[in-house]
Amino acid sequence: MADDIEKAKKRLDDEYGQVRRRFDEIHERFDRVSSCGPEDDIEGALKDLEKKVHEVRTGGLLRPGSNGFTRARKKYEKAKAAQGSKVQKFGS
């Protein structure tokens, strides 16, 4: 059982790292929006930011996005709950 929770935790950490690495792409698009002046295409910059946030959240052709993280988190919580129910307390 401990092996299952360790695998689930490793998978959760991997998925978290993948999502966090993509934040730089979002920050780059956000900086473009922030630096827009009155003569710049703010709508286009916002659309590009929105597209990138959507891509990071839902994934693309090769990446699962934050959906993979959510699935890994649910599996980890389930494994953690199962391990907690298996532990016997002294005197019970």
pLDDT in tens, 3-38: 888 999 999 999 999 899 989 999 999 999 999 999
User: Residue 59 has what pLDDT?
Assistant: 83
Structure tokens at 65: 């996005």
* The overall pTM is greater than 0.85: no
Residue 7 near residue 78 (C-beta atoms within 8 A): no
Instruction: Please tell me the chain's helix, strand, coil percentages from 3-state DSSP, rounded to the nearest 5.
Output: 75, 0, 25
Residue 26 near residue 53 (C-beta atoms within 8 A): yes
